[in-house]
Amino acid sequence: MYYPWTAPKPYTPDLPEPKAPATPLNSQESFLTRLETPDADSMLYASNYDVKDSHYGCHWRGENVEKTPSGALLAIHRVKGASQPCTAAEMQTAGHYSYGRYEVIMRPARGSGLVSSFFTYTGGYFGDPHDEIDIEFLGKDTTRIHFNYFRKGKTGADEIFDLPFDAADADRLYAFEWTPEGITWFVEGVPYYTTPAEDSGLPVAPGRVYMNVWAGEPWIEQWTGTPTYRSGAGAHYSCVSFVPLGQKGAGCGDDYTPPAVLSP
């Protein structure tokens, strides 16, 4: 399986980031946000810059993060006559986080060519090796979920699972627990996948927490699918939380009730 994070050139933004929340660089405090005011969230802020020499095929625009009655919609819009054919949306923490449990309640975007994700990341832009842990959905088939991870830019034992529902139909709970011994991913509180025992490719560097929706450059369409998505499509996020390893704290799953599965 080919993943787009093995881009051939280093990626650096063209425009400066907006002012981020005042969070320590390496934080081991728990947090939970319901994204009730995504333009002024205490933990996550919107990316807002042009991309260059990247697998991403859209520029990030803060205005594509839209408030909803129950969280934030990260939308993608087609544009004409610009340096990229679309603008996309991303939110990230200012601090870096390490071992612990990461939870998100989200609904991925539907549409071929789109990728919706929740992940931790650090890399060369922060002066670190490329370490990453991913939960991803491809808009061409939102009945499947992708789990992946990186250490020093090398992908690990990634896996793809069929879901008993279409993830794009409703906001649902997803999570991963990261420890020095391994990573376990969860769907609706049920463990789906754990990294192999004694895996030497586990990430170790603390990373920022990200969520985004995007379309890729043409050279990764074999993975993302031909871009036929509608302009304005987006991924919805209604909760993000982190609890450090060995500590207690509020999580998105504490008062979560699974939605009913829609009939075919």
Residues classed as catalytic? 132, 136
Distance CA 130, CA 152 (A): 5
CB 56 within 8 A of CB 49: no
Q: Report the run of H or E that residue 194 belongs to, with start and end.
A: strand 190-194
Q: What is the CA 167 to chain-centroid distance, rounded?
A: 15
CB 34 within 8 A of CB 237: no
Cα–Cα separations (whole angstroms), residue 204 to 107, 122, 130, 146, 245: 28, 10, 10, 21, 14
Report the candidate in 240, 264, 9, 11 with the shortest Cα–Cα distance to residue 122.
11
Q: What is the CA radius of gyration of the chain?
A: 17
Report the candidate in 157, 135, 139 with the shortest Cα–Cα distance to residue 75.
139
Residue with tokens 């933004």: 13
CB atoms inside a 10 Å sphere around CB 231: 12
Distance CA 207, CA 23 (A): 13
CB 117 within 8 A of CB 145: no
Cβ-Cβ contacts under 8 Å for 98 (sequence gap 6 or more): 26, 28, 178, 206, 244, 245
